[in-house]
Structure 1
Amino acid sequence: MSMTKKAVVILSGGLDSSTLAYYLADKGYKLICVSYNYGQKHIKELESAAKIAHNLGAKHHIIDIRFMNGFLQSSSLVNQDLDNPKEDYARENMLVTVVPNRNTMMLSLAWTIACAENAELLAFGPHKGDNYVYADCRPDYFNALNLALRLGTIDSRHEDLELSAPFINFTKTDIVTTGAKLGVPFADTWSCYDGREKHCGLCGTCRQRRQSFIDAGISDPTSYEVS
């Protein structure tokens, strides 16, 4: 029986999850990457996810959950009639981007894949800056879901499987610094919430991405429509 460590990674194609994938690969894990199409405007992130998975030689599953799209219309990431905010990445600006129960949906499905793959970890990439905006990126949520998923897995073959969020106490700048050390191809990652061919440079995630490179003292390879 193979003793290779396996990790299932939620890979959106963004800077955080891409760095997480490289981080776990560096730790010696064989990766199974899982991405989701939920009808998001920024569908281009899935192209980035495919590039990152390919670069790492990882198995990559893109799961179509667009059947849930009609129930997610309160979010500007999905609703074509709602504009994504063009202000800084702060709670009062970003609340309209919240996709109800997104991480719970994605992690629950990916947990099943992790069980099927006999993985040791199911990893996702929230960071400290997300805590103020997204309830399902906070440490108390992470701890509660980890407990719930483990309690719900009665098969003793999977008793060692754990939910992992290595960057939950990192800043975005910390992640950029970590990614640079690991050789993450930042130009292949996607952060913008608008459905464009280039990063808009104005939305909260573009602003946060750009500022994080500045704060890390690392050259930003991203091409922005508005610099």
Structure 2
Amino acid sequence: MTDPILYSLQNCPYAIRARLGLFHARQPFKLRAVVLKNIPTEMLAASAKATVPVLVLGDADNGRLDGVKVIDESLDIMFWALKNNDPQNLLYSNSPKAVEDIQGVIARNDHEFIANLENYKYSKRYHDFAQLYYRDQCEQFVADLEQRLSKHDFFVGDRPSVADYAILPFIRQFARVDRKWYLQAPYPNLRRWLDWQLQQPMFTKVMAKYPPWLNQGEEFLLGT
């Protein structure tokens, strides 16, 4: 069976999320690192959205996409991989209540926190007066995560779930917007959680840098 092809950008939080899902599922895949200023025509043929991540399932190397399945949303990639293989039970498949909680916290991250985070990053860059406002908006979600982590080591329990990895790339960004403020902010549990995540060997593998695929035509087999 042909290994899936993942078009990915190293520091895009959505691409990081997709890679985290594939690595935790131990799903082999061929990484094609891209540069958004020079998007491969093969990626555009697979997904017109023109942004990463894009996962291509099937034999796309023959120049045709007949019978090829494309997954171009990061959460869908995570859940596709983990539904095929979930050695850590990140989906909490034996706990319907936990599944509902996982879905809820990811939904709040995706539909509320990310938009506020983008505005927070933008206002910080331009020293906009709105910076404090958007940080306050972000903190409404961050405070909820802090409360969760005061009860458990992870967002929905005492072991990681897919929610931890789906949200990780965005909390990583949040912590970097104003590092000085973040380090003294009243979120010690979140800092502990993030530090632990970033120190994991798995995260180091996920964040490894590879040369752009278009430069050398070289794919990298990962996830094994």
Q: Answer yes or no: same fold by TM over 0.5.
A: no
Higher relative contact order (CA 8 A, sep 6+): 2
Between Structure 1 and Structure 2, the one with more helix by share is 2
Larger Rg belongs to: 2
